[in-house]
Amino acid sequence: MAENFEFVCFLPACRQAGILVIGYLRYKGLKVMGDPRGFLKTKRLVAKYRPVCERIKDYKDVVEPRSDAHTEEQASRCMDCGTPFCNWACPIGNHIPEWNDYVFRKRWKKAFELLDAINPMPEITGRLCPAMCEYACVLGINDDPATIHENELAIIEHAFRKGYIKPNPPKKRTGKKVAVIGSGPAGLAAAVFLNKMGHKVTVFERDKEIGGMLRYGIPDFKLEKKILDRRINLWKKEGIIFFTCKEIKSQKDVVKNKFDAVCLAGGSRVPRDLKIEGRNLSGIHYAMDYLMQSNRLMAKELKTKNENLIDAKNKRVLVIGGGDTGADCVGTANRQGATYVVQIELLEKPTEYRPPHQPWPLYPMILKTSSSHEEGADRQWSIATTRFIGENNNVKKVGCVRLKHGKEDVNGCPLMQEIPGSMFAIDCDLVILAIGFLHPEHTGLVKQLRLKLDKQGNVATNESFMTSRKGVFACGDMRRGQSLIVHAINEGRRAAKAIDMYFK
């Protein structure tokens, strides 16, 4: 009996207590994780990218899929830590040690069932999540952390191949109808969990296809849209209703359909601008306009002969902003045939190792080199832009100045000063502004319902995700501001629970 008993120790107390319990269980003959010394035998080995010379010619996934045997070996590195900080760091609380253990034991279906119980779209987070869990991995204190991010993706793709994933509609309906406005990760997560609870869910999307930023803001080389469609088709079979090219602009639209609750998940779509001299020149565009247009071209929603296309072919491209969105613009520009790409960032260059003020298990701000950067980009830090310089109304140069960073102010923001005599210019024919977003759009239902906003311009809610209008809820970036996909999924799940409690 002891040989068949599986137990994974998770104590909210200290690691030392966890070790004592694990030792006692081993003494009694009980199994605790697959290979407690796996991390000593196997080194971290991440998935490989396709060769640059090959992937730069297409928009297919840049990552080469790894074998099940490779994943099983990497899963063995998940150690018998007393407290799973990976689970603590994951905003959606994935059961990481458990499904790593199942993978090591070749019990893939069990691993999938644990993953599926928590995460409604692991094939998407497995490609896009920045893996905060890995930076909190106990093994990462003095070694390389487990490949949690890639193991998650391997589990769900294995499940699709083996046919483990089938539509699972609720067996009983509550009779309540919910409208979800917006089909990004927060809206989709809210819809999935509300549907599991038995409520009738209708998702409204103003664009041509479902997915929001997942479809139109993420390049195909990071997330091929067939992956998204595969999941959406499952949700349709589970009973979720999707309407595209449909924007809910007024309260009449909600009343007409007799919805019992509304969940706003429209995202944070108002971009931050750079209002400096020469901003009115042609050739300066917001990053999301550039990426969305590229994705629509790939989906054949736009004609290639469109005169308003933002095309980097044979152009000198400057990307202003050093985040993930800026990196996506770099990869897109390279695929379009840019002459060269420069990416500049206002902040100073991060260190390659965890800084002292961001100790384990916190998520550190360290230097990250994406697949797009490897394909070609001149990255520069501590640079402020001062003006756009043009010829014949087209941008040709960007005036810049180098900065030095001092101590942080009371709000934790670094104090910056211009370095005297460091002004210079960058030649460019196309400028992409990838400097983030301000807040959600205040038109449509937000204006119609006169919803209260917080100081940042986001939709204000109480602890139950309800806005200032009874029965109207908000979640995701629309409520908390621009953030990560895993936070959006967590927001959607929590909002679904709040709506369910509202009905009860």
Reported as a single tens digit per residue, the pLDDT across 154-202 is 999 999 999 999 999 999 999 999 999 999 999 999 999 999 999 999 9
- pLDDT at position 136, please? 97
Share of the chain above pLDDT 90, in %: 82
What is the rounded average pLDDT of the residues 106-118? 97
- pLDDT at position 88, please? 94
Whether the domain at 177-269+438-503 and the domain at 275-435 fall into the same CATH topology: yes
* DSSP label at residue 459: B
Single-letter residue type at 249: K
User: In the structure, what pLDDT confidence band is assigned to residue 58 with cuts at 50, 70 and 90?
Assistant: very high
Tell me: pLDDT of 251 over 80. no
In order, the DSSP letters of 162-216 are: HT-------SS--S-EEEEE--SHHHHHHHHHHHHTT-EEEEE-SSSSTTTHHHH
User: In the structure, what pLDDT confidence band is assigned to residue 15 with cuts at 50, 70 and 90?
Assistant: very low
Nearest to 243 by CA among 174, 179, 199: 179
Tell me: pLDDT of 216 over 60. yes
Cα 212 from Cα 195, distance rounded (Å)? 19
Mean pLDDT of the chain: 91
What is the rounded average pLDDT of the residues 285-304? 94
- pLDDT at position 31, please? 52
Q: Is this structure's pTM higher than 0.85?
A: yes
The residue count for the chain: 504
User: In the structure, what pLDDT confidence band is assigned to residue 36 with cuts at 50, 70 and 90?
Assistant: confident
CB environment 314-335: b (16+ within 10 A), e (fewer): ebbbbbbbbebbbbbbbbbbbb
User: In the structure, what pLDDT confidence band is assigned to residue 6 with cuts at 50, 70 and 90?
Assistant: very low
- pLDDT at position 232, please? 98
- pLDDT at position 256, please? 64
As a CATH number, domain 177-269+438-503 is 3.50.50.60
- pLDDT at position 25, please? 43
- pLDDT at position 4, please? 37
User: In the structure, what pLDDT confidence band is assigned to residue 18 with cuts at 50, 70 and 90?
Assistant: very low
458 alpha carbon, distance to own chain's centre: 19
What is the rounded average pLDDT of the residues 84-96? 95
Cα 404 from Cα 120, distance rounded (Å)? 44
As a CATH number, domain 275-435 is 3.50.50.60
Cα 457 from Cα 470, distance rounded (Å)? 20
In order, the DSSP letters of 111-149 are: HHHHHHHH-S-HHHHHHH---HHHHT-GGGGTSPPP-HH
User: In the structure, what pLDDT confidence band is assigned to residue 34 with cuts at 50, 70 and 90?
Assistant: low
Nearest to 266 by CA among 497, 457, 469: 457
User: In the structure, what pLDDT confidence band is assigned to residue 8 with cuts at 50, 70 and 90?
Assistant: very low
As a CATH number, domain 33-162 is 1.10.1060.10
* Cα→Cα distances 79→22, 82, 84, 205, Å: 11, 9, 9, 43
Nearest to 331 by CA among 180, 219, 421: 219
500 alpha carbon, distance to own chain's centre: 26
For 49, phi then psi, to 5°, come to -90, 155
Q: Where are the domains of the chain?
A: 33-162, 177-269+438-503, 275-435
- Between 120-134, 207-221, 398-412, 454-468, the lowest mean confidence (pLDDT) is in 398-412
Tell me: pLDDT of 248 over 80. no
